[in-house]
Amino acid sequence: MNSISKLTRREFIKITAVVGAGLSFLSGCLTLRRSDANVLSDDETSLLEAIVEQIIPADEWPGGRDAGVVNFIRTQLEGPYRRFQKDYRKGLAAMTSTCLGKFQKRFEALSWDQQTAFLQDMESGRLNDGPWNDGFSRRFFEMLRSHSLQGYYGSPRHGGNKNYVSYKMIGLDEFQVIGQNRYRS
């Protein structure tokens, strides 16, 4: 007798269940990675870089862009902040369309002072028509600011605070980061 014929029905069901679960898990992981790869377009990423640099500008210390804040936000939008993906897409699209309508330029092409004024209008809720109705500009700005600060001052293991920039700035020792490297090349 060969070994296959000695396999009991119960063992066969166990093996089939394990293989099926494994294939299902693998399929789910591959699907998840495909959808996460495009969580923000290149244009959205470029806009987000300009925003985080406004929220945390460089001085004698690196600003939000160089500290990896956008990487933090993108990484979190693929995981724990997945629930904010629609708000990011809506808000970034609204910023682009509003700037193109008002200035005939994208936000990234505006002067520093124009960018600052635009974000101040968002924060105060003065943008209140079209996609900005119902206080969305204020809520979106608060989310951007909160996520930017988390990315700048949080643990590098979450994808921001590159090279421990904020820890060094406030005089904290560098903590050993255990876990996955969250920086994109």
pLDDT tens digits, residue range 126-160?
998 889 988 999 999 999 999 998 988 887 888 87
Q: Are residues 120 and 65 in the same domain?
A: yes
Q: Are residues 30 and 79 in the same domain?
A: no
Report the domain count for the chain: 2
Please check whether residue 32 lies inside any domain of the structure: yes
Please check whether residue 178 lies inside any domain of the structure: no
Q: Are residues 101 and 137 in the same domain?
A: yes
Q: What is the pLDDT of residue 34?
A: 42
Domain range holding 20?
Answer: 8-37
Q: Are residues 25 and 66 in the same domain?
A: no
Q: Please name the residues in contact with 70: beta carbons below 8 A apart, sequence gap of 6 or more.
A: 45, 48, 49, 52, 64, 151
Cut 0.75: pTM above it? no
Please check whether residue 87 lies inside any domain of the structure: yes
Work out the pLDDT band at 182, boundaries 50, 70, 90: low
Q: For the residues 171-181, what does the mean pLDDT come to? A: 63
Distant-in-sequence contacts of 36-45, Cβ < 8 A, 24+ apart: 36/78, 39/74, 39/77, 39/78, 39/85, 40/74, 40/77, 40/88, 40/92, 43/96, 44/88, 44/89, 44/92, 45/70, 45/74
Q: Are residues 127 and 47 in the same domain?
A: yes
Please check whether residue 182 lies inside any domain of the structure: no
Q: Are residues 62 and 120 in the same domain?
A: yes
Q: What is the pLDDT of residue 155?
A: 78
Q: Are residues 25 and 84 in the same domain?
A: no
Q: Are residues 153 and 62 in the same domain?
A: yes
Q: What is the pLDDT of residue 162?
A: 73
Work out the pLDDT band at 83, boundaries 50, 70, 90: very high
Q: What is the pLDDT of residue 126?
A: 93
Q: Are residues 163 and 85 in the same domain?
A: yes
Please check whether residue 127 lies inside any domain of the structure: yes
Q: For the residues 52-76, what does the mean pLDDT come to? A: 89
Q: Are residues 12 and 97 in the same domain?
A: no
Q: Are residues 33 and 48 in the same domain?
A: no
